[in-house]
Amino acid sequence: MEADAAALILLMPAAAGDVTIAGSLARGGDPLMPALAPVSAMAALIERHGLSASSLGRVELMEAYAAQAMATIRRLGLDPARVNPDGGALARGHPIGASGAVLAVRAAQALREDPAGEPALAAIAGAGGIASALLLTRE
């Protein structure tokens, strides 16, 4: 079964209280441990916005391996119940070229439905130890 795709997201606030992009960044990690590259990107984005791991309501993490998700959760001190609570790429698939968009949409939808409105974070590793992270908040 193929899982290739492509995606484009246009996020526009529809009304007060809607989801906005608070920040994003790309960061390089150790090319010998590319699966852990999201740790650095996520930590930097959390710190840049004065947040803590415990203040995140939802984390959508692209995991290539279960061990990658577990290591990221431990290194950042994330609540495992808030990381991919509806299943990650291991459960749902990994559409090459669209995985980042899938994460962003899932994080935005979860934030819209979160009565507490806690920030959501999406992160993905790329080839060679590069990672991207996206922080979403509600106005």
Encoding tokens for residue 83?
A: 């990381």
For residue 123, count other CB atoms closer than 10 A to its CB.
Answer: 27
* Rounded average pLDDT over 43-58: 96
For residue 53, count other CB atoms closer than 10 A to its CB.
Answer: 17
Q: What is the DSSP letter of 115?
A: T
pLDDT at 16: 55
Give the CA count within 13 Å in the CB-facing half-sphere of 16: 0
In this prediction, residue 13 has a pLDDT band, given cuts at 50, 70 and 90, of: low
pLDDT at 54: 95
Q: CB within 8 A of 41, min separation 6: which ones? A: 25, 26, 27, 29, 123, 131, 132, 133
Instruction: State if pTM tops 0.85.
Output: yes
pLDDT at 29: 84
CA 122/CA 129 separation, integer angstroms: 17
Give the 3-state secondary structure of residue 95. Answer: coil
Q: The tokens 């899938």 sit on which residue?
A: 102
pLDDT at 3: 54
Residue 106 scores a pLDDT above 90 = yes
Give the 3-state secondary structure of residue 110. Answer: helix
pLDDT by residue (tens digit) across 79-99?
999 999 998 888 887 777 788
Residue 53 scores a pLDDT above 60 = yes
Q: What percent of the chain has pLDDT over 70?
A: 91
pLDDT at 63: 87
In this prediction, residue 1 has a pLDDT band, given cuts at 50, 70 and 90, of: very low
C-alpha distances in Å from residue 78, one per residue of 10, 35, 58, 91, 103: 28, 17, 10, 20, 17
Dihedral sign computed on CA atoms, order 138, 101, 95, 37? negative
When the pLDDT of each residue in the chain is averaged and rounded to a whole number, the result is 88
Strand partners, 58: 120
- Which is higher by pLDDT, 53 or 10? 53
